[in-house]
Chain A
């Protein structure tokens, strides 16, 4: 065991920093053309536009340390936004279970950030119990297309998505996990209705989506009919690790301290306040440990071991940390935390801070609610199931 970065790793870090530095957005430059240009240049670096994709599919084929360095640097750098749905969620499924045709058809547009995807899993009756989903897909008599009817809920960014990857039910005769079929189809078509859901922070990111007789060609089915659950499940673990967001939290904790230092208290600042200071310290300690839990998990992955239940630990700890950062921002805002909206009053960091905190409450709900994550650890790691007796 050692934590020294090798000279290659250090050189890599410098290269990453230099790349970010050279490709910063310039004054007056159009954001969206800069964004696409940025990904193009990242691609020329050898797959830096798709860091998590394996080399076989055009990714950079980095070592875990390189991934770690990348994460650290991206958290600090001004790089363009990216969405996880196509790149981080659907693409791995296409790589594992898609046909060559499907890979060739969908992956280039995902890579070029041309097509926006949304994830149609949850339904009103299928949240934590995802396998309970009821959206029906019926195969036509000639076997060429499915007709989809039903409703999804909480579909993030469905209102701006071009395509959806969707879990549907093709058979309800067996246990819930069987008879689920994984379909891909365009969002902008007749029979699809998207309605906004406004969350506590006052923003619109999630939606309900209703399907009425939506026709989906069989070529758009991933893998076999009825096996969709298996394909989706492996992915949920990827999704969870992605949700921990540790390197971002590291940067945010520094920001939190700067904010607190800008709040004058007596002869000092809020960072001299003993309760506040202690809470920031406790947060930092948890973050330090979680960072190494993530590194241990990366190392396992590098050794070729499956991404396992650590992903649940990371999701649990990572999201809790993100929530605490938001809560401490609210506390630092003092009386101004009661002002609504980002046109508000008081310290610059207070604006929108309470909305951010309120929205952060869903970090422990989406991608597997915390209570359910703990069930996963209890079962898979501790070997505890109902009625299990030694």
Chain B
């Protein structure tokens, strides 16, 4: 057992931390978020240059052969600045699906471009009726000769506006909620029949509803085997859970530390707020939730690296705890800041919003509690 990061990981951690400190104060973030495309292309270029986009990919595909710990290191630091660049959509979701299931040709075609920042991707999986159930897929792909015809609708797709390629989760056989019969395809965003409805999200990012109306895709663009897409989807979703949970831990750290600092500065009744025991204890609770989340994050990440199948139960536990604790920490950071806490002017509100959104992604606290209970 060893919780030490490797020398390389420590270096990455420091460089991401510096990047966030230098480039991501609140006014800058608000400015970037409010302008198209909703993130900074310059920052995205720097991230590619610094090699962050290639970390978890295999060396033969242009990556650095890292694993989920490397992603954790990056995402935790990103969480401290609420970084807007589409790392999760590209590296963890779209790229992750290609890495896990794509043919050698697809990998060669997509990954080097993605790693150097010239190609953008996303994953379209959720649907209106599916809520958090990955296996609930109604969007159909019907085979016609060496083509498939995709019809259906996808919801809350991250980064779709900027992505030139979409990995789309379709049903090629079986009932609507069967794990069997799900197939993934890589489609070009410009393909005829794809329509996007774009909108901002609560946390200052962007997402889209996508309709697929008789969208044609060559069978060579299938990721993995016909009908076996669920296994890829589950792996990608688990990795995304680890990534957003690392981000959440970073965000929680900012929230509890900002609150400790604020209560020491703000005086009421001729005392700093931090003199009041009820507030001290609340901050101790916030701190403990943060530490507990970090522990479970380490556990889930290390177990996943050792054996992703056995780690499934811990992943459910993690996403449950992060959802619940993240909101606890966010709500109390706001409460302890009083009126200042509910304004857009302080950064804590923005961190709280991100934690709220994280709970709604890849299954909320209740959903994972239920999965855990029935595991």
User: Which residues of A line the B interface, CB within 8 A?
Assistant: 122, 125, 127-129, 132, 153-154, 197-200, 202, 206, 263-266, 273-276, 330-331, 333-341, 343-346, 354, 357-359, 361-362, 364-366, 369-371, 374
Kindly list the 10 A-B residue pairs having the minimum CB-CB distance in the complex, ordered from nearest. A129-B268, A275-B366, A338-B357, A362-B342, A340-B200, A334-B131, A200-B349, A129-B269, A198-B344, A337-B360
Residues on B with beta carbons closer than 8 Å to the beta carbon of A276? 366
A94 to chain B: closest CB distance in Å? 27
B308 to chain A: closest CB distance in Å? 24
Q: Is the CB of A154 within 8 A of B339?
A: yes
Given the known inter-chain contacts A338-B357, A361-B331, please indicate yes or no for A200 contacting B207, CB distance below 8 A.
no
Q: Is the CB of A338 within 8 A of B369?
A: no
CA distance A337 to B342 in the complex (A): 19
CA distance A125 to B203 in the complex (A): 30
Please indicate which of the listed interface residues A132, A199, A206 has the most CB atoms of chain B within 10 Å of its own CB.
A199
A329 to chain B: closest CB distance in Å? 12
Q: Is the CB of B335 within 8 A of A345?
A: no
B122 to chain A: closest CB distance in Å? 15
Q: Is the CB of B356 within 8 A of A199?
A: no
User: Which residues of B line the A interface, CB within 8 A?
Assistant: 126, 128-129, 131-132, 155-156, 177, 197, 199-203, 207, 209, 267-270, 276, 278-279, 331, 334-335, 338-339, 341-345, 349, 352-353, 356-357, 360-361, 364, 366, 369-370
CA distance A192 to B190 in the complex (A): 55
CB closest chain-B residue, reference A263: B131
CA distance A122 to B339 in the complex (A): 10
A132 to chain B: closest CB distance in Å? 7
Residues on B with beta carbons closer than 8 Å to the beta carbon of A340? 199-202
CB closest chain-B residue, reference A359: B342
Instruction: Please tell me which one of the listed residues B342, B352, B356, B357 contacts residue A365 in the complex, with CB atoms under 8 A apart.
Output: B342
Residues on B with beta carbons closer than 8 Å to the beta carbon of A274? 370
13 residue pairs A–B, Cβ–Cβ below 8 Å? A198-B343, A200-B343, A202-B344, A273-B366, A334-B132, A336-B155, A338-B156, A338-B360, A340-B201, A345-B199, A359-B342, A369-B335, A371-B276
Residues on A with beta carbons closer than 8 Å to the beta carbon of B278? 371, 374
CA distance A202 to B200 in the complex (A): 13
Please indicate which of the listed interface residues B202, B349, B357 has the most CB atoms of chain A within 10 Å of its own CB.
B202
CB closest chain-B residue, reference A354: B202
Q: Helix, strand, loop or mixed for chain B's interface? A: mixed
CA distance A47 to B342 in the complex (A): 38
CB closest chain-A residue, reference B362: A335
Q: Is the CB of B131 within 8 A of A335?
A: yes
Q: Helix, strand, loop or mixed for chain A's interface? A: mixed
CA distance A357 to B202 in the complex (A): 11
Instruction: Please tell me which one of the listed residues B207, B270, B279 contacts residue A371 in the complex, with CB atoms under 8 A apart.
Output: B279
Q: Is the CB of A365 within 8 A of B341?
A: yes
A387 to chain B: closest CB distance in Å? 15
Residues on A with beta carbons closer than 8 Å to the beta carbon of B360? 330, 333-335, 337-338
CA distance A266 to B194 in the complex (A): 29
Residues on B with beta carbons closer than 8 Å to the beta carbon of A369? 335, 338
CB closest chain-A residue, reference B206: A340
CA distance A206 to B279 in the complex (A): 25
- The number of inter-chain residue pairs (CB within 8 angstroms) is 125
Q: Is the CB of A365 within 8 A of B339?
A: yes
Q: Is the CB of B335 within 8 A of A365?
A: yes
Q: Is the CB of B202 within 8 A of A336?
A: no
Q: A132-B269, A265-B131 are in contact. List 10 more A-B contacts (CB 8 A).
A: A125-B267, A129-B270, A200-B342, A336-B156, A338-B361, A340-B200, A341-B199, A358-B356, A362-B339, A371-B279
B206 to chain A: closest CB distance in Å? 9
Please indicate which of the listed interface residues B268, B364, B370 has the most CB atoms of chain A within 10 Å of its own CB.
B268
CB closest chain-A residue, reference B130: A335
A361 to chain B: closest CB distance in Å? 5
CA distance A374 to B356 in the complex (A): 28
Residues on B with beta carbons closer than 8 Å to the beta carbon of A199? 342-344
Residues on A with beta carbons closer than 8 Å to the beta carbon of B132? 334-335
Residues on A with beta carbons closer than 8 Å to the beta carbon of B344? 198-200, 202
Q: Is the CB of B343 within 8 A of A339?
A: no
CA distance A78 to B45 in the complex (A): 55
CB closest chain-B residue, reference A374: B278
A170 to chain B: closest CB distance in Å? 21
Q: Is the CB of B199 within 8 A of A344?
A: yes
Given the known inter-chain contacts A335-B156, A341-B200, please indicate yes or no for A361 contacting B343, CB distance below 8 A.
no
Residues on B with beta carbons closer than 8 Å to the beta carbon of A346? 128, 155
CA distance A265 to B366 in the complex (A): 14
Instruction: Please tell me which one of the listed residues B155, B209, B268, B370 contacts residue A275 in the complex, with CB atoms under 8 A apart.
Output: B370
CA distance A362 to B342 in the complex (A): 7
CB closest chain-B residue, reference A345: B209
CA distance A343 to B209 in the complex (A): 13
CB closest chain-A residue, reference B358: A338
Residues on A with beta carbons closer than 8 Å to the beta carbon of B203? 338
CA distance A154 to B345 in the complex (A): 13
CB closest chain-B residue, reference A199: B342
Given the known inter-chain contacts A265-B131, A335-B361, A340-B202, please indicate yes or no for A361 contacting B334, CB distance below 8 A.
yes
Residues on A with beta carbons closer than 8 Å to the beta carbon of B267? 125
Residues on A with beta carbons closer than 8 Å to the beta carbon of B126? 335
CA distance A350 to B37 in the complex (A): 25
Instruction: Please tell me which one of the listed residues A334, A335, A339, A358 contacts residue B353 in the complex, with CB atoms under 8 A apart.
Output: A358
Instruction: Please tell me which one of the listed residues A202, A265, A330, A364 contacts residue B335 in the complex, with CB atoms under 8 A apart.
Output: A364
A23 to chain B: closest CB distance in Å? 36
Please indicate which of the listed interface residues B203, B209, B279 has the most CB atoms of chain A within 10 Å of its own CB.
B209
CA distance A141 to B99 in the complex (A): 82
CA distance A202 to B209 in the complex (A): 22
Residues on B with beta carbons closer than 8 Å to the beta carbon of A357? 356
CA distance A302 to B331 in the complex (A): 38
Residues on A with beta carbons closer than 8 Å to the beta carbon of B342? 199-200, 358-359, 361-362, 365
B319 to chain A: closest CB distance in Å? 14
Given the known inter-chain contacts A336-B156, A339-B207, please indicate yes or no for A128 contacting B353, CB distance below 8 A.
no
CB closest chain-A residue, reference B345: A197
A198 to chain B: closest CB distance in Å? 5
CB closest chain-B residue, reference A131: B269
A129 to chain B: closest CB distance in Å? 4
A18 to chain B: closest CB distance in Å? 41
